[in-house]
Amino acid sequence: MSKALDPEMKKAEQNCLSRLVEEMIPEIQKMLSEHLCGCWKQCPFCKAICTNTIPTHEGDHSVPFHRPEALSGEWWDQTDQFVIDYYTGLLASDSFLVFKDGRRIPYKTYRQAGGEYATWSITPDTSTQPYWKWFVCHFRSKLEEKYHKRFINKGEIPDAWKKITKQDVLDDLKKN
């Protein structure tokens, strides 16, 4: 990344000698934004943003922590019930990804769906962060209102999630 910044930094240095700082701020902000903004592709499952720091990076997109499906409005096929599972957990299961056109693909082989699914590297993982569990509980009614789905039956929020406090979340975030 430093090689990409070198020419821009030299140009900024030359301009620095002949201009006021106030005149340079917008240019510096633009330069930094263009080079450091990162990749903005969203996970096709949970909509988490790719954490690669290079906008046009090579290789697969990835994110260290995925979110429960309910946050992107996903629901169980032929129901009005949210899916509260994390995609990373479903990748370790025998569940199927059901598309609007009726196609069914095992989550384990999600890349076979092609398109944006083929450009993501998602590892099966059954561990989850308390933050998203707390978020789902705390904003339950807002999610139900936004997506017109419900947290019932298969999509019922587990009691353990309801016991997670804001302080639990803050403590966990400080560890990571």
**Would you state the pLDDT for residue 16?**
62
**Would you state the pLDDT for residue 149?**
93
List of residues 6+ apart from 65 with CB closer than 8 A: 48, 129, 132
d(CA 70, CA 120): 20
Predicted TM-score of the model (pTM): 0.67
- What pairs with residue 68 in β-bridges? 86
Domain spans in the chain, listed from the N-terminal domain onward = 2-36, 68-86+128-176
What confidence tens digit (pLDDT) does each residue in 101-142 have? 889 999 899 999 999 999 999 887 666 778 889 999 999 999
What confidence tens digit (pLDDT) does each residue in 68-103 have? 888 888 888 889 998 888 878 888 888 888 888 889
What is the pairing mode between strands 96-98 and 104-106? antiparallel
**Would you state the pLDDT for residue 17?**
66
d(CA 112, CA 87): 16
d(CA 169, CA 176): 11
- Per cent of the chain over pLDDT 90 is 37
**Would you state the pLDDT for residue 56?**
81
